[in-house]
Each structure stands twice: as C-alpha cells, then as structure tokens.
Chains A and B, each alone.
Chain A
C-alpha cells in the first residue's frame, strides 16, 4: 500500500498544506554562515509562508525578524545586502533599529496624532548558526536549535565545518521538474546507488550502508570502496577534509529537505526548495579544505589516473544525454523527472518497495503525520 497518494505529488492543495504545516513550522536553512559575516550584512529567506531576514549587529550577534513592515506590511529588506544600523521601509520610510524597534516615522505628529507608536516592533524570529549554516525559525520562542538537531548530530560526520572554505564554483542551482518529495526520496533511497549510479558512485561501498531515521532526520553513512580506501590520500580528488582513517560519506537528509553530503574530500549542502507541486529548486553549496590552489592542483594530478578509470556514464552515448554524462546529479535529475511525469499516467501504479527503500517509506509517513497533524 502506498503511504502517500499520487495527489501528494501533483496537487496544489497538498503543496499548500505542506508549505503551511511543514515549511512554516520548522527550522529553515537560510544559507551558509559566511553569507552574513559582517555587521550590517543581511539575507532573507522564504521559509514556507514566512519571509524572514537575518542581520548581524555590531556585537556580531545575528538577529532574525519577519520581513514585514509593521505599517502596511511591505517587505523591508531584499534578498541580500548590507544595511547600516537601521532598517528603512521603502514605502513610507518607517525606520527600525537592529533590535526591531520602530525608531522613526516621518511626519509623525501630523500623520499619527495621538497614536502610540512607541511599542511598535518588528516581529522577531529565532536564528542560530549550526554546522556552518544559518538557521531560522519563524517562532521567536522556538527554543534551542539542539532540541531539533541534538539527537541526529552524533550521526553526522566528524567534519570541522567552520574550518572549511566555500568553493565558489561548487555553487550550483538546479530546477527539477519534480515534486520536492521525489527529490528527497531519491536522496534517501539506498537501493538506487549501486544501479542508477553504477558508473559514478562506485568509490563508496553501498553494501555497507548504515542508515535510518533519527527523529525526523534521516542519517546515512557508507564507507569508501576498498580500492579507494586503500590509498585515499593519493586518490582523493581534493585534499582530505577529515583524517584518512575516518574517511567515508555521511549523507543525511535533515527534515524538511535539507540534505548534506559530508565526504572525505568535500562538504556540501543540498538544499531542496519546493517551488510548485511539480517544480523544485535545489541549491548546492560546497566547502573544501582550506588549502592553497597549489595543493588542490597537486591533489588533482595525483588522483587523475584513479578517476579516469573509475567514472563512466551508465549508458554509452553523447555528452548531452544525462545517462551518459558520468555525472551522478544529472542521473538523479533524470530519474526524478521521469517519475514525476509517470505520475500523470492513468496507468501508473505503485510497485513493491525494497528493503533499501525503507527510508523512502518512512519519509512519506513523516510527511503524512506533519500534514495531518
């Protein structure tokens, strides 16, 4: 029996309910810590129905507010930027300080005679830094972020995320023609790794996967394939980010839709953003070791032989065929989009689900509980 009906992947109603009941009520990733690294810098993020901005004060503490002017609701700050010690609404120039207090209203005495504006403040949200990422929660009293991530944290990699540096070329965005849950389910499906990615992810040993849900989050670990592990210092494509003896891949999917890929040589965020029932944007950002470009070039040269022998497309074909690309992301996108398309066929029917897909079933169950709850 399928846990979620087909409409869960295709209908606007389901989409809206998920936005309201899941994405508006959980900790949302607002980017990497370095996106707001200086006093005055800010970013805003759409988390379900809420638009929240994060700004750093001169005390280097982050503050988060709902991005809504308390006058007529205009959005205060655009996506990214730098502000001074105050936030000015573009509509009527109401001005707030970095504690969210309304500090100036143009022509106040004449325009608002007898109106008490002293206690007007922006609505606060919660914000924290965790694992090198910015997190926001729409509820000012959300409590400790460790209430949400504390249990899963021991199942994540030994990476010192704060000490790694973003690799700007590793930042990619993909618009996938599939429901966000298909993208997530693909991420946590351990069964497909040895098959869809037979030519691209063979450096990990899929027969030794350890995975499962820890609370609402899916934890996943697998070791390196023996021939890669044997000489990982030489064969790693980039300088290692963790000690060789710990090498492996931790690929958790944090709820809702925040995937991490923490490997021996890279650390990546795989942020799944629902756009519409059949559109999802995935933003990928990658950190690597803090090392000189010379060290990277040297490592690439040393490992080249290993990788040319190791990576190939699933099918023979031309460069524009994702299944011949030798790129596992292209393979995943292909599989997700094909599934979404089939959901519209009147002949579509769910088939039996494997042991390796247990996580997929549990994720569906989790979504069902949140949407009904």
Chain B
C-alpha cells in the first residue's frame, strides 16, 4: 500500500447530526488515480495535536461512482481526533490524507444479481453507505437491505439521504431503523426498538428474504455488534464465506499474556533493508518508527491492516489481530503495530 500522506484541501464540511461531521476533500487532477477508492475502503487522516502525531482511519462515506472523497466523523466522548475534526476543521483547511485502502470493500459487477444485507450501527454506516450507493449505481439487478442501529432518530447519520435513495430505488433498497432509546418519540417510527442482536438479525432476514439467491452480508458497527451479528448469521446457516465485517475498534482487550524479548529486527521497507533494535515488549512498528523510519500504519490497534507485513524469520506474538484472517496468518502475515518479537532475531517485510 501507498503509505505517503498528501495535503488535501477541505472543499466543504457538513454537519450530519449534532455529533457527526462530514469533510469533503478536493482531490487535484494529478492525484485522482492515487485517491481512487473502492466502496468500503478507508483513508487515514494525520494531525499534529498537542505536539504529537496522531493518525486515525476513516471510511470514505461516498460511492466511487461520481461521489466525492468524503469522510464522516462522529465524536467519541473524550476522543482526540474525532472532536478535533468536529470542532476545528473547516472548509479551506488542509488535512494530511493517506490514500484509500483496506480489505473491506464491495466490488460491484454490473451483470451480477445479488441480495446484499447490510448491518450497521452509529458511525459504522459510513462504509456501508458508500457500498449501498455503489450497488444502486452499478449493479442494476441487485437489491440492498440495510438494518441500521442508532440511539435515537436524531443521531442517525444520512437519515435523509437514505430515505431519498430508498424512495428512488424502485424497491431495490430497503432501510430498516433500529433505535435503542426507548424513551423518545421519533418520526418516522423505527422498524424496531432495541439493538441489532440475534433476534433482530433473524427477524430482519425473515421479513426481507433474499430477492436474489446470491447473498452477501456486510457488517460494520461497534465490536460487540459485529460479533453478535456474525454469530446470529452463522446460527441460521449463513456460510462464513459470505460474511464481511469491519470493526472500528478492538473487540477484545489486547492479549498481553506474552512478555516478548529484546530483539534485533531486520525490516525490509520500500526497497531498503534496515536493522532496528526492539526493546522487550515493544512492537516492531514502534521500534521502526523510533528509528526515524516511516512505515505505514493507521489505527495502531490491530483493526485496519495498514501496518501489515510478512514475517520472514523468527517468531512474534500478536497482541491483537482483528485485521487478519486465519488464512492470512498461516501465510505469514502480521500486523506490525501488534507484533512483539519473542525470538532475538526477526525479519519483517512490508507488502
């Protein structure tokens, strides 16, 4: 992947809800190819806040077909970057953006005839919104069904956009809102109260049985929801190969059961080979950065896969591994932001 940052101007901002803002970036002609995205992929934003460099991944929230490079950032209580974006970033500002990447994407095929089930909650709608737009634009024979969880009607990102898309879709898109706050009256009334749990998933599919039999399931929400939806789908015999998920944060606390040893890491990065010392318990990524190198990374929590590399020699312990499948790991893939050497010599090669 291309780990370089580009300075992009914010063309416009839009308040989506009281707690979420979209940034639309202006992509100069010469960078169009570099910033071409697949529906569902994310970019990484870099800021220098309080004297520190911080990076966060954000999904592109618009479809690639004629859409603009846009991210939609929801405030996290006490969150550093998300509040900075909501409070401070304005049209005309310049933000450092790393080109789109990520394995959670939907590649439309104009001949395909599929039923897509989307399960999203909160800011997890962002990649799904791009995917839905892409299906409607590029797969005329396919249908999309979205179950979308939020606290209340006021916190639903893209509420009106989705309503408009559903209306104009000739039945191809159905949006079903699931609201967890019992108290507030909302209009329109949600499809259901509560959370997107196993019962909700089963009811959703029973009420919206596949229109086309080639089904796909895309899930993006807080860690707990992803796990619950996945389990609910497997429970009604959906093959795992049809399910795609992305989490925005670690589901489980990092596995710190292995201490790690001080090691010497040989790192192959962008054609160069360097040797960096790794302190006991330090990650390969942190050690490489400490040596003033610029390896790719984004979330630093094992979720996004930006820091992915291949282990060529030695052994490491992965504290978290959300971004990797078992198959990836058996082929030697590691996440350098989570990799702690457990042998004194390791060799790591970035993709």
Seen from chain A, the residues whose Cβ lies within 8 Å of a Cβ on chain B are 57-62, 85, 97-99, 127-129, 143-147, 150
Contacts and interface: CB of A to CB of B under 8 A. Distances in A.
A127 B209 CA distance: 15
Nearest to B202: A58
Contacts of B111: 143-144, 146-147, 150
B113 A60 contact: no
B205 A59 contact: yes
Interface string B210-223: 11111100000000
Contacts of B210: 60-62, 129
Given A59-B233, A59-B236, A129 B213 contact: yes
Contacts of B47: none
Given A128-B113, A143-B111, A144-B111, A99 B214 contact: no
Given A61-B215, A61-B238, 5 more contacts: A57-B237, A145-B113, A146-B113, A146-B141, A147-B111
Given A128-B113, A146-B113, A146-B141, A57 B236 contact: yes
B206 interface: yes
Contact of B237 (A58, A127, A145, A147): A58
Contacts of A143: 111
A129 B209 CA distance: 11
B236 A129 contact: no
Contacts of B78: none
B113 A85 contact: no
Given A60-B209, A144-B113, A144-B141, A128 B237 contact: no
B237 A129 contact: no
A62 B237 contact: no
B188 interface: no
A3 B202 CA distance: 55
A143 B213 CA distance: 12
B213 A144 contact: no
B98 to A, nearest CB: 36
B233 to A, nearest CB: 7
Given A128-B113, A146-B111, A60 B141 contact: no
Contacts of A61: 210, 213, 215, 238
Given A85-B237, A99-B237, A62 B113 contact: no
A147 B206 CA distance: 28
Contacts of A129: 210-213
A243 to B, nearest CB: 16
Contacts of B238: 59, 61
A192 to B, nearest CB: 35
Nearest to B239: A99
A145 B115 CA distance: 13
A58 B113 contact: no
B112 interface: yes
Q: 7 smallest A-B Cβ distances: which pairs?
A: A60-B209, A58-B236, A59-B236, A59-B238, A146-B141, A57-B237, A62-B213
A62 B112 CA distance: 17
Contacts of B113: 128, 144-146
Contacts of B215: 59, 61
B112 A144 contact: yes
Interface string B187-229: 0000000000000000001100111111100000000000000
A159 to B, nearest CB: 14
Interface string B14-47: 0000000000000000000000000000000000
B150 to A, nearest CB: 25
A63 B213 CA distance: 8
Contacts of A57: 236-237
Contacts of B239: 99
Tell me which of B141, B210, B213, B236 has the highest count of chain A C-beta atoms within 10 A of its own C-beta: B213
11 contacts: A58-B237, A59-B233, A61-B210, A62-B213, A85-B237, A144-B112, A144-B141, A146-B111, A146-B112, A146-B113, A146-B141
